[in-house]
């Protein structure tokens, strides 16, 4: 297995002491992220550090179990849910115990109902805020901004997602890389899933094209996260990206595309929608989802009043926040509606000199 690539992100030394976060990231399950994290934890123990396993998901993998052998494990917190007892990371207990470093596996995990926080990455934030160092693991397809890209490339829509800011706020990223055919060989050898899942995995998600695409995404995204770090004392170019969306099914894809652009340009993300005259229950639900996605990408979400028309409201907002980039989707209105009400895209193009306008296909 090739050595992981370590990329250190610079942080402001003047900030109060916060735990350091090292994320082991890879293209898919089975590349060896947890194995590497466990070896890191063992090395820290051997150096005399107070190190614990906070939560470990072995999935029955022999190599993972062997790597975890005799490492100290902090008991999980038990949660009663109906007639079932579930266990999750005991954040409060760890903060009280306050070790130097804790391993927290599978950052994208959704906590059991009744947990203090909904997601495991939020548990990690609480540990970091308490001054505890964290080693964590995740697959690149769980990043919020890549959700549409991964679904388009692999045909699989990932449900458990991690906001991009978690990756960007990390102190160090360890890219655990493995050639696609090597990972498929690990699958065939039963090192990733049980015998009953191997054939299905090889023919569905773990195909060579899928793994090649995911590997490229992982390599590019981690390198990009480091390139976006601005050297101390050097001002960043101030890019402001405004995503204009309607309460439609394609809105989430537009927001993520805008989020990717904001990330590449190291800019602010603004997502706006003109409030409909009549807001249906389905539209209200979609807008709530869009607000959550925007916040996960570190952006600002706002509903605009559009008495003078959608195009006018959008242009006024873009000017107010000094937008440099505008992201819009192809219109879903009929030709007749465009004829009588005007083409919003043409209006925006005409009225936003000095701003780049990106029109994203509905397909």
Write down the CATH number for the domain with range 240-360: 3.40.50.620
Residue segments in the chain with a per-residue pLDDT below the cut of 50 = 230-237, 334-342
Which of 158, 321, 227, 288 has its CA nearest to residue 10? 227
Q: Give the angle subtended at the CA of 58 by the CAs of 52 and 60, to the nearest 5°.
A: 145
Residue with tokens 């925006």: 348
Contact 120, 107 (CB under 8 A): yes
Q: How many residues belong to the chain? A: 363
pLDDT of residue 218: 85
Q: Following CA atoms 204, 205, 206, 209 in sequence, which dihedral angle do they give, to the nearest 10 degrees?
A: 90
SS3 for the chain is CCCCEEEECCCCCCCCCCCCEEEEEECCCCCCHHHHHHHHHHHHHHCCCCEEEEECCCCCCHHHHHHHCCCCECCCEEEEECCEEEEECCHHHHHHHCCCEEEECCCCCECCCCCCCCEHHHHHHHHHHCCCEEEEEEEHHHEHHHHHHHHHHHCCCCCCCECHHHHHHCCEEEECCCCHHHHHHHHHCCCCCCHHHHHHHHHCCCCHHHHHHHHHHHHHHHHHHHHCCCCCCCCCCCCEEEEECCCCCCHHHHHHHHHHHHHHHCCEEEEEEECCCCCCHHHHHHHHHHHHHHHHCCCEEEEECCCCCHHHHHHHHHHHCCCCEEEEECCCCCHHHHHHHCCHHHHHHHHCCCCEEEEECCC
For the chain, residues classed under CATH 3.40.50.620 are: 240-360
171-205 pLDDT, tens per residue? 888 888 888 999 999 999 999 988 888 998 898 88
Query: Percent of the chain beyond pLDDT 70?
Result: 88
pLDDT of residue 339: 41
End-to-end CA distance of the chain: 39
Question: In this structure, are strands 77-81 and 300-304 parallel, antiparallel, or unpaired?
Answer: unpaired
Q: Is domain 5-227 in CATH 3.50.50.60, yes or no?
A: no
Burial of 171: CB neighbours in 10 Å, binned 0-12, 13-18, 19+? middle
Distance CA 85, CA 76 (A): 12
For the chain, residues classed under CATH 3.40.50.300 are: 5-227
pLDDT of residue 350: 82
pTM: 0.67
């Amino acid at each position: 297995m090739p050595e992981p690539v370590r990329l250190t992100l610079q942080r402001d030394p003047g900030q109060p002491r916060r735990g350091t976060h090292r994320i082991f990231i890879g293209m898919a399950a089975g590349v060896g992220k947890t194995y590497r994290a466990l070896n890191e934890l063992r090395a820290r123990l051997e150096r005399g550090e107070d190190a614990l396993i906070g939560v470990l998901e072995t999935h029955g993998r022999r190599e993972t179990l062997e790597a975890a052998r005799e490492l100290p494990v902090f008991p999980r917190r038990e949660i009663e849910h109906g007639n079932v007892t579930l266990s999750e990371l005991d954040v409060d207990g760890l903060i009280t115990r306050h070790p130097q470093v804790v391993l927290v596996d599978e950052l994208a995990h959704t906590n059991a109902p009744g947990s203090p926080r909904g997601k495991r990455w939020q548990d990690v934030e609480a540990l970091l805020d308490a001054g505890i160092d964290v080693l964590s693991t995740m697959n690149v397809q769980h990043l919020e901004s890549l959700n549409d890209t991964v679904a388009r490339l692999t045909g699989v829509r990932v449900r458990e997602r991690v906001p991009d800011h978690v990756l960007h706020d990390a102190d160090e990223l360890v890219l655990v890389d493995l050639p696609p055919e090597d990972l498929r060989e690990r699958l065939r050898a039963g090192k990733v899933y049980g015998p009953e899942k191997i054939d299905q995995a090889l023919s569905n998600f773990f195909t060579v094209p899928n793994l090649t695409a995911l590997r490229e995404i992982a390599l590019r995204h981690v390198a990009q996260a480091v390139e976006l770090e601005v050297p101390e004392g050097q001002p960043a170019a101030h890019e402001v990206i405004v995503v204009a969306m309607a309460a439609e099914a394609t809105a989430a894809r537009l927001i993520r595309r805008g989020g990717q652009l904001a990330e590449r340009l190291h800019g602010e993300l603004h997502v706006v929608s003109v409030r409909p005259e009549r807001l249906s229950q389905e539209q209200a639900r979609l807008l709530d989802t869009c607000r959550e996605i925007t916040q996960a990408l570190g952006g600002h979400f706002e509903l605009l009043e559009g008495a003078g028309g959608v195009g006018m409201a959008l242009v006024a907002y873009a000017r107010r926040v000094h937008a440099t980039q505008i992201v819009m989707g192809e219109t879903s209105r009929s030709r007749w509606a465009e004829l009588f009400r005007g083409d919003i895209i043409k209006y925006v193009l005409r009225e936003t000199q000095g701003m780049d306008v990106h029109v994203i296909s509905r397909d």
